[in-house]
């Protein structure tokens, strides 16, 4: 069973930093960050298979599936932004929420958190008060050290956000390694600064906490936030009941992507050799460089001089077996789609043509959409909680209204088939399953007030149209405007056919 931090003793003097129990997690984060950046040669152990006959030449070909997959899940979750509204139709609260979404760039921050969930398995929201206004930030999970209950790892007692840096504390002439630590507990916030002492393993950034710099200007002693919850909210990926941290999207794909890169690199090398063959011939074809004295052949490729009576060089006939290599690559791609829960369609690689309707496209994307639904299942409560925390934090220091609750309408990020969706809503409306109000809200994503205003406009237009139709009749000839016959009609009545 994994070891977890259960108290703040890991921040005491003499304790190793980072905490040993977090070493494996931090190493995985560091490797995944390199994969996201495309630095695969720094992660894959069998990244470059040496070519003995080419004196150690390396194959270097990077397929950054990692970054592509992370952006895919974030795009499907937030590329088509969700609609947030206040529970109960509170107009004052809705006005505050719209202003907060604009100035806090919440969707952009949520996108960063979604990328972190894919890269690391966890994403973090942080609420803060800046200039009297609430802000929401994304926090890198590698700086996060949760303290959990010894009897329930899902109960987080404190969120510690800690990062290393260099500074010149009082009494020191030269810069020293320092550790900044923010401690977020329910209703409390504290910031500490520690002096670190190197252990001789600087390459792995191993230190020991030497002292707590109480008089450092960045130190903030415990203070009440006025909010019952901590100002840090975890947005987790997939995890089991005995796990605190979520699973990232990279670990299961590492060997597949590594093998694809190696195989494609070797295919590329074979094709390069066939595109630039060597030659042999008489020495007279060589030219001597007047400056270096080195003889060379002006024609590209390798040239082997053969004198009179000498046997020309031979070459072992071999088959590059490229067909087998390409079959393996296709099989690896199929396994990649299977394990990553994607499909060629989600990348626009459908070989049989485009889907003819929105429902057809959704059937092709069944697995990716199910994965996004699973991600949304954890992301929705985290986003809802951090917005409400930010609201309460700002309401304590201003006249901002306090929100009672939050509604979030999510979208799947796929292209909208307007005709198909409108027809579905029209059928439901005609069948009496949903109201006109609900049909408009579903189609437009508007809040209740906007939908109600639109319904009133529609009813007013219908009433005006009915009145115009009733006055279009010529009272002297009982002829309608289109020339048809009509009997005498009283206002507000209709004729029966």
Q: What is the CA radius of gyration of the chain?
A: 34
Alpha-carbon distance of 236 to 215, in angstroms, equals 36
- Residue 487's pLDDT band (cuts 50, 70, 90): very low
Q: How far apart are CA 28 and CA 142, in angstroms?
A: 10
> Is 451 within the bounds of a domain?
yes
Reading the block at residue 193, the tokens are 């600064």
The token duo for 94 is 């809705």
Q: In percent, how much of the chain has pLDDT > 90?
A: 52
Q: How confident is the model at residue 485 (pLDDT cuts 50, 70, 90)?
A: very low
Tell me, yes or no, whether 457 lies in a domain.
yes
Question: pLDDT tens digit string along 407-457?
Answer: 999 987 676 666 767 777 788 888 887 888 888 877 777 778 888 888 888
63 lies in some domain: no
> Nearest Cα to 145, choosing from 171, 163, 172, 170?
163
User: In this predicted model, which residue has the larger pLDDT, 360 or 291?
Assistant: 291
Work out the mean pLDDT of the chain and round it to a whole number.
83
495 vs 99, higher pLDDT: 99
Higher pLDDT pick, 440 / 189: 189
For residue 254, count CB atoms less than 10 angstroms from its CB and return exposed for 0-12, middle for 13-18, buried for 19 or more: middle
442 inside domain: yes
- 402: its two tokens: 């306090």
Percentage of the chain lying above the pLDDT 70 cut: 78
Q: 3-state SS of 193-257?
A: EEEEEECCCHHHCCEEEEEECCCCCCCEEEEECCCCCCCEEEEECECCCCCCCCECCCHHHHHHH
Domain assignment of residue 350, yes or no: no
Is residue 123 predicted with pLDDT exceeding 60?
A: yes
Tell me, yes or no, whether 444 lies in a domain: yes
DSSP string, 150-191: TTEEEEEEEEEEEEEEEE--TT-SS-EEEEEEEEEETTEEEE
In this structure, what are the phi and psi dihedrals at residue 138, rounded to the nearest 5 degrees?
A: -90, 135
The crossing angle, in degrees rounded to 10, of helices 65-78 and 106-120 is 140
pLDDT tens digits for 371-396? 999 999 999 999 999 999 999 999 99
Considering 191-200, 264-273, 303-312, the range whose residues carry the highest mean pLDDT is 191-200
User: Is residue 351 over pLDDT 90?
Assistant: no
How large is the average pLDDT for residues 119-132? 96
Average pLDDT (482-487) is 40
Tens of pLDDT, residue by residue over 233-270, are 999 999 999 999 999 999 999 999 988 888 888 787 77
Nearest to 346 by CA among 69, 42, 96, 161: 69
As a whole number, mean pLDDT of residues 213-232 equals 94
pLDDT digits 0-9 by tens, 157-188:
999 999 999 999 988 999 999 999 999 999 99
Of 6-15, 33-42, 356-365, 442-451, the one with minimum mean pLDDT is 356-365
**349 part of a folded domain:** no
- Which range of residues forms the domain containing residue 437? 418-464
| 403 located within any domain | no
| CB distance 115 to 138 below 8 Å | no
DSSP-based helix, strand, coil % in the chain, nearest 5: 45, 20, 35
Contacts of 335 (CB under 8 A, 6+ apart): 256
Is residue 53 pLDDT above 60, yes or no? no
Orientation of helix 436-444 relative to helix 418-430, angle to 10°:
170
Q: How far apart are CA 104 and CA 383, in angstroms?
A: 13
How far apart, in whole angstroms, are the C-alpha atoms of residue 453 and residue 475? 36
Burial group, residue 494, by CB count within 10 angstroms (0-12, 13-18, 19+): exposed
Give the model's confidence band at 310: pLDDT under 50 very low, under 70 low, under 90 confident, else very high.
low
Q: CA 181, CA 190: separation in Å to the nearest integer?
A: 8
Q: Which residue has the tokens 């969930």?
A: 117
Count how many domains the chain has.
1
Confidence check: pLDDT of 484 > 50? no
pLDDT for 388: 97
| pLDDT confidence of residue 261 | 87
CB count in 10 Å sphere of residue 463 = 10
Residues 231 and 188: beta-carbon distance below 8 Å: no
Q: How many CA atoms lie within 13 A of 25 on its CB side?
A: 23
């Amino acid at each position: 069973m994994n070891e977890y931090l259960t108290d703040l003793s890991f921040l005491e003097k003499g304790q190793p930093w980072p905490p040993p129990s977090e070493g494996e997690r931090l190493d995985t984060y560091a490797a995944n960050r390199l994969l996201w950046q495309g630095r695969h040669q720094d992660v894959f152990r069998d990244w470059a298979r040496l070519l003995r006959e080419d004196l150690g030449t390396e194959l270097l070909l990077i397929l950054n599936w990692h970054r592509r997959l992370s952006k895919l899940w974030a795009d499907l979750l937030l590329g088509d932004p969700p609609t947030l509204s206040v529970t109960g139709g509170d107009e004052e609260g809705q006005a505050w929420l719209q202003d907060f979404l604009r100035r806090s760039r919440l969707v952009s921050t949520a996108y960063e958190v979604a990328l972190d969930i894919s890269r690391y398995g966890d994403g973090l929201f942080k609420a803060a008060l800046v200039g009297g206004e609430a802000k929401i930030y994304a926090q890198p999970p590698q700086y996060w050290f949760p303290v959990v209950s010894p009897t329930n790892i899902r109960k987080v007692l404190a969120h510690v956000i800690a990062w290393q840096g260099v500074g010149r504390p009082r009494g020191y002439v030269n810069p020293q390694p320092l550790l900044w630590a923010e401690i977020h507990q329910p209703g409390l916030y504290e910031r500490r600064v520690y002096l670190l002492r190197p252990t001789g393993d600087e390459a792995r950034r191993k230190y020991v906490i030497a002292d707590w710099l109480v008089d450092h200007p960045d130190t903030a002693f415990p203070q009440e936030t006025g909010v019952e919850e901590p100002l840090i909210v975890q947005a987790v990926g997939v995890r089991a009941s005995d796990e605190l941290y979520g699973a990232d999207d990279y670990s299961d794909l590492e060997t597949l992507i590594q093998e694809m890169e190696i195989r494609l690199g070797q295919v590329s090398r074979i094709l390069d050799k066939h595109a630039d063959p060597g030659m042999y011939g008489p020495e007279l074809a060589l030219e001597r460089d007047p400056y270096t004295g080195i003889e060379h052949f002006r024609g590209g490729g390798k040239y082997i001089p053969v004198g009179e009576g000498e046997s020309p060089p031979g070459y072992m006939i071999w088959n590059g077996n490229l067909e087998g290599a390409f079959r393996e690559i296709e099989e690896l791609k199929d396994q990649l789609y299977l394990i990553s829960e994607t499909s060629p369609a989600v990348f626009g690689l459908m070989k049989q043509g485009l889907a003819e309707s929105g429902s057809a496209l959704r059937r092709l994307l069944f697995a990716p959409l199910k994965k996004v639904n699973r991600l949304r299942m954890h992301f929705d409560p985290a986003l809802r909680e951090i917005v409400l925390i930010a609201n309460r934090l700002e309401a304590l220091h201003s006249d901002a209204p306090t929100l009672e609750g939050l509604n979030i309408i999510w979208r799947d990020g796929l292209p909208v088939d307007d005709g198909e969706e409108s027809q579905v809503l029209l059928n439901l409306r005609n069948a009496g399953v949903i109201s006109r109000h609900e049909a408009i809200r579903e189609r437009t994503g508007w809040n209740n007030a906007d939908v109600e205003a639109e319904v009133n406009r529609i009813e007013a237009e219908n009433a005006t149209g009915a009145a115009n139709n009733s006055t279009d009749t010529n009272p002297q000839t009982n002829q309608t405007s289109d020339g048809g016959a009509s009997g005498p009609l009283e206002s507000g009545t209709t004729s029966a056919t």
